[in-house]
A and B are shown apart, each in its own frame.
Chain A
Amino acid sequence: MIQFDSVHLKLNNRQIFSGLNFRVREKEKVLIQGKSGIGKTTLFKILLGFEPIDSGTVRFNGLDIVRENIKTIRSQIFYLSQDIDLKNEPVRILLDEINRFNSFKNPDKTHLMDLLDFLELNEKILDQEVKELSGGERQRIGLLICFLLDRPVWLLDEPTSALDDVMKKKMVAYIPARDKTIVIISHDDVWKQNSDLRPDLRPGLRIERWR
């Protein structure tokens, strides 16, 4: 599904990747750890076409990251950025807009209410602007969009950093059980405690896979 072959990339005069090979099969769940600044987020940005590479090949579902494919590629990936960089608008308007251009799998109001409930968010949050939300609320709105869009591939950058312990545990149990291809970047120990992880060590990047 995701394929990096001998990828080289230099950013601001710093060699980030020199010959990185990295693969994720369909429906696989992968956890990436490692110190900050070693290019974890950059992996995601490359896949989304936000960061060009110097050499090597990157393929998504067999497709090169080029103009002709980029729309298809982006429409299959849900990306949760570290700061959840949503536009500052009321949440309801954001959801409407996202729905208009993607159409949620299940646009039912009850489905939305169930998800809000599951994420322990009050319905009133839909009328708040993104700027008014706390970090934890923003993160949960990001996850809400992820669940609503239901795209086949999830790239989650620190998805639990701002959540409380109960919610963290809930997500660690819920997310890897989805029938999706999922790559998670996280420093959070709760993910490591998940016993199904198979370590896949590489210098710098620590990648673990769910069995």
Chain B
Amino acid sequence: MIPSLPRSPWLRAAPWVYATAFFAFLFLPLVVVAVFAFNNAPYPAPPWRGFTLDWFIGSRQRTGLFGDAALLHSLWTSTLVAGWVTALSVAVGTVNAFLIERVDFRGKTTLSLLMLAPLVIPGVILGISILAFASRIAQFADDTFGWELDFLRPGLPLVVLGQFSYIVAIATLTISARLKRFDITLEEAAYNLGATRTAVLRTITLPYLRPAMIGAAVISFLMSFENFNTTLMLVGSDAPLTVLMYGRMREGASPVLNAVSLFLMVASAALALLLVRRGPRD
């Protein structure tokens, strides 16, 4: 219970014992992945055979992370997809925030509920439904006009759309939560002082929304980078990192996967730190 109630010493210690066990459970898989990235053996498995950097820089018999062209390419593919998804989600999420918080129209309640729907639709289903719909359009365009709409066939544009379809819902929630708390008198004061709409938006409202937009961008980027379910259904020949890793994990693991995982951990920790350092989170 809470500290102000009398408790036996055992009960006082119990939560901290539990917390220790909980965090050990939470970090165990990550620690194991990191440690075996440095094991001098062809498989990421015990026993420990000494320290090596082969799985990063490579050696005569081994391909390291920096020499693995397919892996590096998929890392680039993931970054590209995540960049597009982030830009689209933050832009549309911001417009949606204004739509929800600032204007009134018929059917607004229904629309704002519908905006939450993508969050409770399983990712696999988002993937297959977009796949089916896109190929229907592509088929239609081919049959009627003889157009080849290649971007509607499985591939990166569809992956971007599939991920965007639910990540934008999260961006909308994040940004509209901040816009809701905006003090409207600030804008009114600016209008009274003769500012134009664009000037108010640029100098008052958008700067106020900035932290939420940055937060939404970081979350969007990470969610896109990590996404597997939706991506798997829409992917063409260019596999993003998660799909490539999945394929290799089924074939049998090589410590190169540990190396790239450790790289991801460091990168996302750096991103997290950057976000925390920028100021208190909302």
**Chains A and B are bound partners:** no
Q: Which residues of B contact A (CB under 8 A)?
A: none
Q: Which residues of A contact B (CB under 8 A)?
A: none
